[in-house]
Amino acid sequence: MQGSLQLDYLAFLRLAQLADSALPIGSTAHSFGLESLVAEGYLTVETLEAFLQESLLEAGLLESCFCRQSHHLSDHEQSANFSTQWVVLNDRMSALKTARESRTASATLGRRFLQLVRTLEDDPLLAMAQQAAKEQRAELHYSIVFGLVGGILGVDAATTVLAFLHQSLLAQVSACQRLLPLGQSQASAILWRLKPVLLEVSERSEQYAEKSVVFTPLIDTASMRHPQLTTRLFIS
């Protein structure tokens, strides 16, 4: 029993490292449309918390559904059909991300994340995932790669999804601190109050299929308008 607990703790610590916003994959260079919303006056310090909550319940739920499905693919006993399912899952995500900037950002982070994890963890599914995407010229999306890695590490699906959601929220708040007069205390308070929403989204992702939760027009159109901004701090 003690050995299994130590293994669980080790897996959790490794996933926590990979969920750190300081991970060198370039996530701090992307706002996923937030910069457009701030520049146009839609997003302010006063409206930020409500916006983030709605974003989690829509875009966050979509990403969580894919993260969970990918986690299921980590079962080595099902590896015979892994490559096909892996490519289909990523292609489906690409089709649902209508904004080119956000789609490219998600794929860039996913590719870099997988490359980094492969230097840290030796698992045949990671190599298969990378090779299958290369052969089929498929994009590798961040939430999907994250779910696979969580499963490979032996972390349960709920914890993996929560870790992904938490780092995504941290990244959004960090971006807003560079775009808005948002202080550290305000940012911490927002993150604290939104913790129950993360739990709600994770629980919902067990029940929803990804096709039934796709409706993020505000974020998508903001991402599409991002290239037209006069000045930009972020790539997306």
pLDDT in tens, 191-201: 999 999 999 99
Residue 49's pLDDT band (cuts 50, 70, 90): very high
pLDDT band for position 111 (cuts 50, 70, 90): very high
Instruction: Please report, for the domain that includes residue 151, its CATH number.
Output: 1.10.4190.10
Please report whether residue 53 resides in a domain. Answer: yes
Mean pLDDT of 156-176: 96
Residue 225 scores a pLDDT above 60: yes
Please indicate, yes or no, if residue 37 is contained in any of the structural domains. no
**Residue 76 has what pLDDT?**
67
Mean pLDDT rounded to a whole number for the chain: 91
- CA dist 230 and 222 (Å) reads 14
Tokens of 166: 């938490």
Mean pLDDT along residues 50-73: 95
How many separate domains does the chain show? 1
Q: Which residue has the tokens 């829509």?
A: 58
Q: Is 144 within a domain?
A: yes
Shortest CA distance to 93 belongs to which of 211, 184, 9? 211
Q: For residue range 2-27, list pLDDT tens digits in order.
A: 444 455 899 999 999 999 988 999 98
Q: Looking at the domain assignment, is residue 139 inside a domain?
A: yes
Provide the residue count of the chain: 236
Expressed as residue numbers, the domain containing 69 is 47-207
